[in-house]
Amino acid sequence: MVGFVVGRSRFLGALALLLLAHEAAAAEQPTFVGRNGTKLVVNGSTFLFNGFNAYWLMNVAAQDQAKVTKTLSDAAAAGLTVCRTWAFSDGGKAALQSSPGVYNEQVFQALDFVVSEAKNHSIRLILSLVNNFMDYGGKTQYVQWAREAGEWIQTDDDFYTNAKVKQYYKNHVQKVLTRVNTITKIAYKDDPTIMAWELMNEPRCQVDTSGQTVTAWVMEMAAHTKSIDYKHLLQIGFEGFYGSTTPDKIWLYNPNGYQLGTDFIASNQVNEIDVTTIHVYPDIWLRYKSEEERQTFLQQWISSHWNDSMNVLGKPMVFGEFGKAKTTPGYSQKVRDDFLSYVYGEIHSNAESGGGSHSGGLLWQIMGDGMESYYDGYEVVLSQDTTTTAVIKKQSEAMAALANKLAASHD
């Protein structure tokens, strides 16, 4: 009997230790970022962030993992907690998807590494699933595959309407979302390291400038994505151009009255879309305007979309891309730092006055040391660009402090 009691006690003690270890491990696991009305939330508290773009992570990880690790480490040291990157590379050399449904396992394992390393550095990911542009294949590659399969394709914008092309895209979404990471052993659709999926980088459609074609595509693909993965947030990847449902805003806010086949309001009203996004490049969009005119446009662009996201769409907004190119006339490091400080100030001010509804911003873009071949003029190398890094750190600290303040106010 004594032996039984002692054995039982040992068993219970071991069981208790096992449960404690399980609880500790569970506590270390990140929680999914969710949405509560116009706010992003984690464990019920408002989630705010300062983030960055690094589209190149998978591509570089296939050749030089140390460069990815160093960049993520530097980003984490600067307080950056969200990264937007590509989960696509279609056709061409060293592609993830070399032809429809045919994947390069080495490149997929590079993406596994990116997800694993992001988790190790407490950085969440926004993974974009295809490109509007030809870089890394994009919709041009998809429609070319369909042509080669015998489809009648007139323009690249048939990407949004051709049944075979749409099935190619759906298959890619299925493949990525159900991928089981070879390092973490967690399916992407079950991994809270991933903050959100993005349907496309900067959708545009020149054959239908009303935005209706893209909105129909968003409805179909958002429903498809959510049917596979309802745990993660979903965003479109818009730049923010207004469309036919708000004709007054086309002329009030779209730079030069551009109509690029998207409708910020109509498409973001799709139920499955959780987060609105905007991008902004005043130096490109308003190339022949003065710096003062660009500043006025920038303020109005941010304000209009934030108000629409809050009051019309009832969804949180993420500033998906912004930056200052070194090729801009009159460029200096101070000019860039001042531009970033202004954008960061707008994000923080909106987040504060809107209770966290402007969730954060993603600088375009962070590069690592020795990546000169990737430079596009917007690159920030945190270990080298010390004054810009200081501006970034300041915003990271401000957004973290605001998140703590909002959490305390709801305790």
- DSSP assignment of 93-127, as one string? TT-SEEETTEE-HHHHHHHHHHHHHHHHTT-EEEE
Helices (H) and strands (E) in the chain, counts: 13, 15
Catalytic residue among 202, 239, 346, 379: 202
160 φ/ψ angles, rounded to the nearest 5 degrees: -80, -15
Q: Known catalytic residue: 220?
A: no
Q: Known catalytic residue: 202?
A: yes
Residue reference for tokens 């969804």: 315
Task: List Cα–Cα distances, 62 to 127, 185, 343, in angstroms.
Answer: 17, 19, 34
Catalytic residue among 117, 198, 239, 321: 321
In this structure, the number of other CB atoms found within 10 A of the CB of residue 41 comes to 18
Could you tell me which of 378, 387, 368 has the C-alpha nearest to residue 74? 368
Instruction: Spell out the long-range contacts of 157-164 with Cβ–Cβ below 8 A and sequence spacing 24 or more.
Output: 157/205, 157/206, 157/207, 157/208, 157/213, 157/261, 160/205, 160/213, 160/214, 160/216, 160/217, 161/213, 161/217
In this structure, the number of other CB atoms found within 10 A of the CB of residue 301 comes to 21
Rounded CA gap, 36 and 59, in Å?
34
Non-local CB neighbours of 95 within 8 Å, separated by 6+ positions: 89, 104, 107, 136, 137
Residues labelled as active-site residues: 202, 321
